[in-house]
Amino acid sequence: MKIAILGAGAMGALIGSCLHKGGADVWLVDPFEAHMKQIATKGLKINLNGGESEEYVKMNAVTDPNEVGECDVVVVLVKGMYTKSASENAKALFGKDTFVISLQNGVGNADILAELFGEERVGYGVLNLASVLVEPGVINANYKTDVENVANIYFNSMVDERLAICEEFAEVLNKGGFRAVYSKEADMFIWQKLIVNCCVNLTCAMTRLTMGQIFDQPDGEKLQRLIVKELVEVANAKGIPMDYEKEWYHWAYEALPTGVRHYPSAAQDMFNGRKTEVDFINGAISREGDKYGIETPVNDTIVMLTHIIENTYDIQYKR
């Protein structure tokens, strides 16, 4: 199986290393030349779980998709706002039968890919993994493979016409060391992770607080409760069964404590004057709410404020 990773930063390189170890012919494709060169010549250095282990994985890594050619599978891991442009600029990767899998943050990327390639050629999923790019060719990864009933990757196809290639993709991931599950329940896990992203990514960005610091504020917790209530209502309207009290408990008492000192990715983007993935996070709640006639004023406000901030980076007061 020939697989390209379109967007091979911290997370893409980690996914690629697993697929490579699982026996696939893997090609990393990313514009970060120093990162690609280091992986191709010396290998990707993976520091796992704060020093638990260390390994090097040498893979094909290029900046030009034309060097790769057509693939059986393309895994898309660019940020959501670049999904369309990155795919269009990497036409060499996609043959008429290439299956495209979005493992990106948030909701909405699969719809963009379906417009480009057709629903029958698109899959989507969610990652229970963490990875940080330390320097070119070096990542710090955090994940566990021994947690009962918890996979590292859940994914599904938009339609059931490509079952064989999805099952093969999952098999390669499992051989490579991840716990991967191809299941219709992927939507549930995607929306559960969306709770995390909606609660902290842009709220931490705008307040410049860590995940723990904003939650410790009475209004911070209240804000997050409202975000989750809107999200659960929209999910239920879509046919994804979620219970507010259960999801709130999981977020506040199980997920949050592991990241209280962390600044989420969107916060880091805003701090550095970059566009964020708000339209695929809180924006997804607004967009899906509109489809089902559900009002989502809290998430709507977060989206609008984020757009204002992003559009005025050049005129904002600098202390």
Coil, helix or strand at residue 144: coil
- What is the separation of C-alpha 169 from the centre of its chain, rounded to a whole number of angstroms? 18
Q: What is the pLDDT of residue 319?
A: 60
Q: Which of 215, 221, 306 is closest to 261 using CA atoms?
A: 215
Helix (H) or strand (E) holding 237: helix 218-237
Residue 267 and residue 149: Cα distance in Å, rounded? 31
Please tell me what DSSP assigns to residue 7.
S
Q: Which of 37, 40, 92, 38 is closest to 65 using CA atoms?
A: 92
Domains of the chain: 2-184 (3.40.50.720), 187-315 (1.10.1040.10)
In tens, the pLDDT along 198-214 reads: 999 999 999 999 999 99
Mean pLDDT across the stretch 72-87?
A: 97
In tens, the pLDDT along 107-145 reads: 999 999 999 999 999 999 999 888 989 999 999 998 888
Cβ atoms of 92 and 69 within 8 Å: the answer is: yes
Q: What is the pLDDT of residue 145?
A: 84
Instruction: Band the pLDDT of 49: cuts 50, 70, 90.
Output: confident
Exposure letters 27-43 (e unless 16+ CB within 10 A, then b): bbbbebeebbebbbeeb
Q: Is the pLDDT of residue 231 over 90?
A: yes
Instruction: Band the pLDDT of 184: cuts 50, 70, 90.
Output: confident
Cβ atoms of 250 and 244 within 8 Å: the answer is: no
Q: Out of 106-110, 163-167, 315-319, pick the least confident.
A: 315-319
Tokens of 287: 């967009």
In tens, the pLDDT along 62-72 reads: 999 999 999 99
Residue 79 and residue 277: Cα distance in Å, rounded? 7
Q: Out of 37-41, 229-233, 265-269, 292-296, pick the least confident.
A: 265-269
Cβ atoms of 62 and 68 within 8 Å: the answer is: yes
Cβ atoms of 194 and 231 within 8 Å: the answer is: yes
| Helices 282-292 and 186-207, axial angle in degrees (round to 10) | 120
Q: What is the pLDDT of residue 149?
A: 76
